[in-house]
A and B are shown apart, each in its own frame.
Chain A
Protein backbone atom coordinates (compact mmCIF):
# COMPACT_ATOMS: atom_id res chain seq x y z
CA UNK A 1 0.00 0.00 0.00
CA UNK A 2 1.63 3.26 -1.11
CA UNK A 3 -0.96 5.60 0.38
CA UNK A 4 -0.67 7.88 3.41
CA UNK A 5 -0.06 5.89 6.58
CA UNK A 6 -0.93 7.05 10.08
CA UNK A 7 -0.09 5.51 13.42
CA UNK A 8 -1.55 4.67 15.79
CA UNK A 9 -5.11 4.23 14.49
CA UNK A 10 -6.55 4.76 17.94
CA UNK A 11 -5.22 6.39 21.08
CA UNK A 12 -6.92 6.63 24.44
CA UNK A 13 -5.23 8.84 26.98
CA UNK A 14 -5.98 10.53 30.26
CA UNK A 15 -6.35 14.26 30.50
CA UNK A 16 -3.02 15.94 31.07
CA UNK A 17 -0.94 13.32 29.31
CA UNK A 18 1.12 13.97 26.18
CA UNK A 19 0.49 12.09 22.94
CA UNK A 20 2.36 11.86 19.65
CA UNK A 21 1.04 10.74 16.29
CA UNK A 22 3.01 9.81 13.20
CA UNK A 23 2.26 10.28 9.51
CA UNK A 24 4.09 8.77 6.57
CA UNK A 25 3.05 10.53 3.36
CA UNK A 26 3.08 9.21 -0.18
CA UNK A 27 6.79 8.96 -0.91
CA UNK A 28 7.16 11.50 -3.71
CA UNK A 29 4.83 14.08 -2.14
CA UNK A 30 6.52 17.19 -0.83
CA UNK A 31 3.57 18.75 0.99
CA UNK A 32 2.14 17.30 4.16
CA UNK A 33 -0.94 18.52 6.01
CA UNK A 34 -2.53 17.88 9.37
CA UNK A 35 -6.28 18.23 9.80
CA UNK A 36 -8.62 17.59 12.71
CA UNK A 37 -12.13 16.23 12.36
CA UNK A 38 -14.83 16.05 15.01
CA UNK A 39 -18.06 14.10 14.77
CA UNK A 40 -20.42 15.47 12.16
CA UNK A 41 -17.97 18.03 10.83
CA UNK A 42 -15.67 18.33 7.87
CA UNK A 43 -11.90 18.25 8.42
CA UNK A 44 -10.39 21.48 9.78
CA UNK A 45 -6.93 22.60 8.72
CA UNK A 46 -4.25 22.63 11.42
CA UNK A 47 -0.89 23.05 9.69
CA UNK A 48 1.12 22.13 6.63
CA UNK A 49 4.71 21.56 5.55
CA UNK A 50 6.51 21.89 2.29
CA UNK A 51 9.44 19.55 2.60
CA UNK A 52 10.73 20.19 6.13
CA UNK A 53 9.48 23.78 6.39
CA UNK A 54 6.27 24.44 8.32
CA UNK A 55 4.58 27.09 6.18
CA UNK A 56 1.32 27.77 7.95
CA UNK A 57 -0.38 27.10 11.25
CA UNK A 58 -4.05 27.55 11.96
CA UNK A 59 -5.29 29.57 14.90
CA UNK A 60 -6.82 26.25 16.00
CA UNK A 61 -3.31 25.04 16.74
CA UNK A 62 -2.76 26.11 20.33
CA UNK A 63 0.68 26.22 21.89
CA UNK A 64 0.06 22.72 23.27
CA UNK A 65 0.25 21.40 19.72
CA UNK A 66 3.50 21.02 17.82
CA UNK A 67 4.23 19.39 14.50
CA UNK A 68 7.53 18.49 12.93
CA UNK A 69 8.77 17.09 9.66
CA UNK A 70 12.49 16.93 10.33
CA UNK A 71 13.73 15.28 7.14
CA UNK A 72 10.94 16.28 4.83
CA UNK A 73 9.46 12.80 4.85
CA UNK A 74 7.39 11.58 7.83
CA UNK A 75 5.79 13.98 10.27
CA UNK A 76 4.79 13.89 13.91
CA UNK A 77 2.06 15.78 15.70
CA UNK A 78 2.42 16.11 19.46
CA UNK A 79 -0.25 17.30 21.85
CA UNK A 80 0.92 18.23 25.31
CA UNK A 81 -1.26 18.29 28.42
CA UNK A 82 -4.23 16.85 26.55
CA UNK A 83 -7.72 18.13 27.27
CA UNK A 84 -11.06 16.46 26.67
CA UNK A 85 -11.72 18.95 23.89
CA UNK A 86 -8.76 17.49 21.99
CA UNK A 87 -10.76 14.31 21.38
CA UNK A 88 -11.09 14.05 17.62
CA UNK A 89 -9.85 12.29 14.52
CA UNK A 90 -6.46 13.63 13.44
CA UNK A 91 -5.97 13.29 9.70
CA UNK A 92 -2.79 13.58 7.72
CA UNK A 93 -2.71 14.28 3.99
CA UNK A 94 -0.03 14.76 1.37
CA UNK A 95 0.20 16.30 -2.08
CA UNK A 96 2.72 17.08 -4.77
CA UNK A 97 3.26 20.79 -5.28
CA UNK A 98 3.93 21.91 -8.81
CA UNK A 99 0.99 20.14 -10.35
CA UNK A 100 -1.87 22.36 -11.45
CA UNK A 101 -4.36 19.99 -9.95
CA UNK A 102 -2.96 18.45 -6.84
CA UNK A 103 -5.58 16.87 -4.63
CA UNK A 104 -4.74 16.05 -1.06
CA UNK A 105 -4.56 12.33 -0.37
CA UNK A 106 -5.60 11.47 3.16
CA UNK A 107 -4.65 8.72 5.54
CA UNK A 108 -7.23 6.92 7.67
CA UNK A 109 -6.46 9.08 10.67
CA UNK A 110 -5.66 8.64 14.33
CA UNK A 111 -8.69 8.72 16.60
CA UNK A 112 -7.82 10.35 19.91
CA UNK A 113 -10.01 9.92 22.97
CA UNK A 114 -9.10 11.93 26.05
CA UNK A 115 -10.76 10.67 29.23
Chain B
Protein backbone atom coordinates (compact mmCIF):
# COMPACT_ATOMS: atom_id res chain seq x y z
CA UNK B 1 0.00 0.00 0.00
CA UNK B 2 0.98 3.62 -0.26
CA UNK B 3 2.81 5.45 2.47
CA UNK B 4 0.81 8.49 3.48
CA UNK B 5 1.31 11.18 5.98
CA UNK B 6 5.07 11.60 5.89
CA UNK B 7 4.72 14.93 7.65
CA UNK B 8 1.40 14.52 9.43
CA UNK B 9 1.06 14.66 13.21
CA UNK B 10 0.91 11.20 14.71
CA UNK B 11 -1.03 9.92 17.68
CA UNK B 12 0.09 6.61 19.13
CA UNK B 13 -2.22 4.86 21.56
CA UNK B 14 -2.34 1.51 23.26
CA UNK B 15 -5.07 -0.87 22.19
CA UNK B 16 -8.06 -0.43 24.46
CA UNK B 17 -7.26 3.16 25.38
CA UNK B 18 -9.34 6.12 24.25
CA UNK B 19 -8.08 8.35 21.43
CA UNK B 20 -8.67 12.05 20.91
CA UNK B 21 -7.88 13.61 17.55
CA UNK B 22 -8.08 17.38 17.24
CA UNK B 23 -8.73 19.69 14.33
CA UNK B 24 -8.83 23.45 13.89
CA UNK B 25 -11.09 24.71 11.12
CA UNK B 26 -10.85 27.99 9.33
CA UNK B 27 -14.26 29.30 8.28
CA UNK B 28 -16.54 30.55 11.02
CA UNK B 29 -19.44 30.42 8.53
CA UNK B 30 -19.12 26.66 8.00
CA UNK B 31 -22.31 24.94 9.07
CA UNK B 32 -21.46 21.27 8.83
CA UNK B 33 -18.42 19.21 9.77
CA UNK B 34 -17.39 15.66 9.03
CA UNK B 35 -14.69 13.27 10.20
CA UNK B 36 -13.24 10.83 7.70
CA UNK B 37 -10.93 7.84 8.13
CA UNK B 38 -8.53 6.96 5.36
CA UNK B 39 -6.68 3.68 5.20
CA UNK B 40 -3.71 3.08 2.95
CA UNK B 41 -4.72 2.78 -0.69
CA UNK B 42 -8.35 3.67 -0.07
CA UNK B 43 -10.56 6.71 -0.30
CA UNK B 44 -11.77 8.61 2.78
CA UNK B 45 -14.49 6.77 4.69
CA UNK B 46 -17.24 8.67 6.49
CA UNK B 47 -17.16 8.27 10.29
CA UNK B 48 -19.42 10.87 11.86
CA UNK B 49 -20.79 14.34 11.17
CA UNK B 50 -22.13 17.28 13.17
CA UNK B 51 -24.04 20.43 12.31
CA UNK B 52 -22.99 23.80 13.68
CA UNK B 53 -26.10 24.06 15.88
CA UNK B 54 -24.81 21.17 17.98
CA UNK B 55 -21.76 20.85 20.19
CA UNK B 56 -21.65 17.09 20.62
CA UNK B 57 -22.75 14.04 18.70
CA UNK B 58 -22.19 10.40 19.49
CA UNK B 59 -21.95 7.37 17.30
CA UNK B 60 -20.82 3.85 17.90
CA UNK B 61 -17.52 4.17 19.82
CA UNK B 62 -17.01 7.66 18.40
CA UNK B 63 -17.94 11.12 19.65
CA UNK B 64 -17.44 14.43 17.87
CA UNK B 65 -17.18 17.66 19.83
CA UNK B 66 -17.53 21.09 18.25
CA UNK B 67 -16.35 24.32 19.85
CA UNK B 68 -17.38 27.16 17.56
CA UNK B 69 -15.90 29.83 19.82
CA UNK B 70 -12.37 28.68 19.07
CA UNK B 71 -13.18 26.89 15.79
CA UNK B 72 -12.12 23.53 17.11
CA UNK B 73 -13.35 20.05 16.35
CA UNK B 74 -12.35 16.81 18.05
CA UNK B 75 -12.95 13.13 17.45
CA UNK B 76 -12.96 10.77 20.38
CA UNK B 77 -12.62 7.05 19.78
CA UNK B 78 -13.42 4.79 22.70
CA UNK B 79 -11.57 1.52 23.29
CA UNK B 80 -9.29 2.01 20.31
CA UNK B 81 -8.68 -1.11 18.24
CA UNK B 82 -5.91 -2.03 15.76
CA UNK B 83 -8.43 -1.61 12.95
CA UNK B 84 -8.73 2.06 13.88
CA UNK B 85 -5.18 2.69 12.66
CA UNK B 86 -5.47 5.11 9.74
CA UNK B 87 -5.20 8.78 8.80
CA UNK B 88 -8.08 10.87 10.12
CA UNK B 89 -9.28 14.05 8.41
CA UNK B 90 -11.74 16.64 9.54
CA UNK B 91 -13.66 18.53 6.85
CA UNK B 92 -15.85 21.62 6.91
CA UNK B 93 -18.62 22.39 4.46
CA UNK B 94 -18.54 25.61 2.53
CA UNK B 95 -21.27 26.77 0.18
CA UNK B 96 -22.45 24.32 -2.43
CA UNK B 97 -21.83 21.36 -0.16
CA UNK B 98 -18.14 21.57 -1.03
CA UNK B 99 -15.92 20.11 1.69
CA UNK B 100 -12.59 21.61 2.68
CA UNK B 101 -10.28 19.13 4.36
CA UNK B 102 -7.77 19.63 7.13
CA UNK B 103 -4.25 18.25 7.02
CA UNK B 104 -4.92 14.93 8.74
CA UNK B 105 -3.63 13.02 11.75
CA UNK B 106 -2.11 9.55 11.74
CA UNK B 107 -3.50 7.24 14.41
CA UNK B 108 -1.30 4.27 15.32
CA UNK B 109 -2.69 1.66 17.64
CA UNK B 110 -0.18 -0.47 19.50
CA UNK B 111 -1.19 -3.99 20.46
Contacts and interface: CB of A to CB of B under 8 A. Distances in A.
Task: For chain B, give the interface size range.
Answer: 20 to 34
Nearest to A42: B101
B16 interface: no
Interface residues of A, number: 29
Interface string B47-73: 001010000000000000000000000
27 contacts: A39-B2, A39-B3, A39-B4, A40-B7, A40-B8, A41-B103, A42-B91, A42-B104, A43-B44, A43-B89, A43-B101, A44-B101, A45-B100, A48-B96, A55-B96, A91-B44, A95-B97, A101-B51, A102-B97, A103-B46, A104-B46, A104-B99, A106-B43, A106-B45, A108-B41, A108-B43, A111-B2
Given A45-B99, A48-B97, A103-B46, 12 more contacts: A33-B99, A39-B2, A39-B6, A42-B103, A43-B99, A44-B101, A45-B98, A56-B96, A103-B34, A103-B49, A106-B45, A109-B42
